[in-house]
Structure 1
Amino acid sequence: MRVLYLHQHYSGPAGATATRSHALAGALVARGHRVTLACGHYDGAVTGLSGAFRGGRREGVLRGLRLVEFDIPCGNAQGLGGRGLSFGRYAASAARLALAEKWDLVIASSTPLTVLLPALLVRRLRGTPFLYEMRDPWPELPRALGGVPGWALAGMGALANAACRNAAAVVALSEGMAGTALARGADPGRVHVVPNGCDLDLFGPHLSPWRPPEAAPWEMLAVYAGAHGRANGLDALLEAAAVLRARQERRIRLLLVGEGSEKPRLRALAASRGLHNVTFLPPMPKRQLASLLAGAQLGVQCLAPVPEFAELTAPNKLMDYLAAGLPVVANLPGRAARLLAEGPCGIATPPGDAAALAEALCWMADNPALRQGMGRSAREQAVRRWDRRLLAGRFAEIVEGAVAPAPLEALAAA
Structure 2
Amino acid sequence: MNILYLHQYFNTPSMPGSTRSYEFAKRLVARGDTVHMVTTNWQGKSKLSFTNESGINVYWAPIPYANKMNFLRRIWAYLGYVWFTFIIGHKLNYDLIIASSTPLTIAIPALWLKRAKRAKMIFEVRDLWPQLPIAIGALKSPIMIKIAQFLEKKAYAGSEKVIALSIGMNSVLKERVPSNKISVVTNLSDRKNFKVSDQKGINFRKNYPGISNHPLIVYTGVFGRVNGVIYLVEIAKEIQKINPNVRFLLTGDGFEKEKIKKQSIKYNLLNKILFMERYLPKNEMPDLLSAATITTSFFIDLPEMGHNSANKFFDGLAAGKPIMINYGGWQADLLKESGAGFIIPQNNSSQAAKILNDVLTNDETLNQMKKASRQLSHQFDVNTNFQKFETVIDSA
If the TM-score is normalised by the length of the shorter chain, which range does it land in? over 0.9
Q: So what's the TM-score if we normalise by structure 2?
A: 0.94
1:394 to 375, 381, 388: 388
Matched with 1:230 is 225
- Kindly provide the CA deviation profile for residues 145-181 of structure 1, in whole angstroms up to 9, marking residues without a partner as x: 1232223322221111111111110001012212333
Matched with 1:355 is 350
Matched with 2:208 is 213
Counterpart AA for 2:279:
P
Matched with 1:116 is 107
* In structure 2, distance between residues paired with 1:30 and 1:189: 28
Counterpart AA for 1:5:
Y
Deviation at 1:355, TM superposition (A): 2.4
CA-atom RMSD, angstroms? 1.6
Counterpart AA for 1:204:
K
Q: Secondary structure at the match of 1:395?
A: helix
* Residues 329-340 of structure 1 aligned to structure 2 (within 5 Å): 329-340=324-335
Matched with 1:296 is 292
Residue segments in structure 1 that go unaligned for 5+ positions in a row? 52-57, 403-414
Q: Secondary structure at the match of 2:222?
A: coil
Counterpart AA for 1:139:
P
**2:221/2:253 contact within 8 Å kept:** yes
* In structure 2, distance between residues paired with 1:156 and 1:375: 42
Matched with 2:254 is 260
Counterpart AA for 1:396:
E
Matched with 1:249 is 243
Q: Quick check: 1:367 aligned with 2:362?
A: yes
C-alpha distance 159-79 of structure 1, shift in aligned 2 (>3 A): same
Residue segments in structure 2 that go unaligned for 5+ positions in a row? none
**1:203/1:323 contact within 8 Å kept:** yes
Counterpart AA for 2:236:
A
Matched with 1:270 is 264
- Kindly provide the CA deviation profile for residues 7-42 of structure 1, in whole angstroms up to 9, marking residues without a partner as x: 010001111111000011112112211110111012
Counterpart AA for 2:280:
M
- Kindly provide the CA deviation profile for residues 182-214 of structure 1, in whole angstroms up to 9, marking residues without a partner as x: 322x23211100001111122124362111414
1:308 to 298, 304, 321: 304
2:235 to 228, 240, 262: 240
* In structure 2, distance between residues paired with 1:300 and 1:223: 6
* In structure 1, distance between residues paired with 2:56 and 2:211: 43
Number of aligned residue pairs: 389
Deviation at 1:85, TM superposition (A): 0.6
Q: Quick check: 1:381 aligned with 2:376?
A: yes
Q: Secondary structure at the match of 2:127?
A: coil
* In structure 1, distance between residues paired with 2:24 and 2:239: 42
Q: So what's the TM-score if we normalise by structure 1?
A: 0.90
Counterpart AA for 1:309:
M
C-alpha distance 215-381 of structure 1, shift in aligned 2 (>3 A): farther
* In structure 2, distance between residues paired with 1:71 and 1:295: 36
- Residue range with higher mean Cα deviation, 108-117 or 210-219: 210-219
- Kindly provide the CA deviation profile for residues 68-109 of structure 1, in whole angstroms up to 9, marking residues without a partner as x: 111111121222221111111001111222222222011110
- Kindly provide the CA deviation profile for residues 316-346 of structure 1, in whole angstroms up to 9, marking residues without a partner as x: 1000011111101110111111121233111
Q: Secondary structure at the match of 2:194?
A: coil
* In structure 1, distance between residues paired with 2:109 and 2:159: 13
